[in-house]
Amino acid sequence: MGQIIMGDEMWVYRYDPETKRQSSQWKSADSPRPKKARQVRLKAKVMLIVFFDMEGIVHYKYVPQGQTVNQQFYLQVLKCLRLAVSRKRPQKQAAGAWALHHDNAPAHTAHSIQVFLASHGIPIIQQSP
């Protein structure tokens, strides 16, 4: 289990909380206390790709607005993941020292992705269909 790095995508909603300084306002001593609006989830959402192991998050990438997760984009994410593994988990840097588990999305099962993983000695733990 310690050799597995799992990857997944998820939608996350953006919050814009105010800092204490931004929400402060001047008032006189006899004026009523200002009302604080409740923090609500904004309509803006962004896709997050995250890779993690038993120790925690290894690498994450927010997908830019309007970008689809296709094989070219996912290949760039995997290249960054390899660098993150060598930097954050040096004990897993050797070929075959860690395995990748992700779902069967078309971008993950593309031929270019399979070739990249095989050429760098990264085994894949297959997801059941």
Nearest to 59 by CA among 115, 12, 7: 7
94: confidence class by pLDDT, cuts 50, 70, 90: confident
Report how far residue 94's alpha carbon sits from residue 99's, in angstroms, rounded to the nearest whole number.
11
Secondary structure string (H, E, C) spanning 71-111: HHHHHHHHHHHHHHHHHHCHHHCCCCCCEEECCCCHHHHCH
- For 14-59, the pLDDT digits (tens) are 766 666 666 666 677 777 776 665 555 556 789 999 999 999 999 9
Q: Domain for residue 126, yes or no?
A: no
Q: Domain for residue 127, yes or no?
A: no
DSSP string, 11-67: EEE---PPPHHHH-----TTSPPPPPPPP---S-EEEEEEEEETTEEEEEEEPPTT-
Q: Domain for residue 28, yes or no?
A: no
pTM for the model: 0.76
Residue 9 is part of which domain span? 4-17+40-119
Instruction: Specify which residues 26 forms β-bridges with.
Output: none
DSSP, collapsed to helix, strand or coil, labels residue 124 as strand
Region 2-9: mean pLDDT is 94
Q: Report the CATH number at residue 9.
A: 3.30.420.10
Q: Domain for residue 34, yes or no?
A: no
Chain center to CA of 75: 14
Q: Domain for residue 35, yes or no?
A: no
Residue 115 or 36, more confident: 115
| Structural domain count, the chain | 1
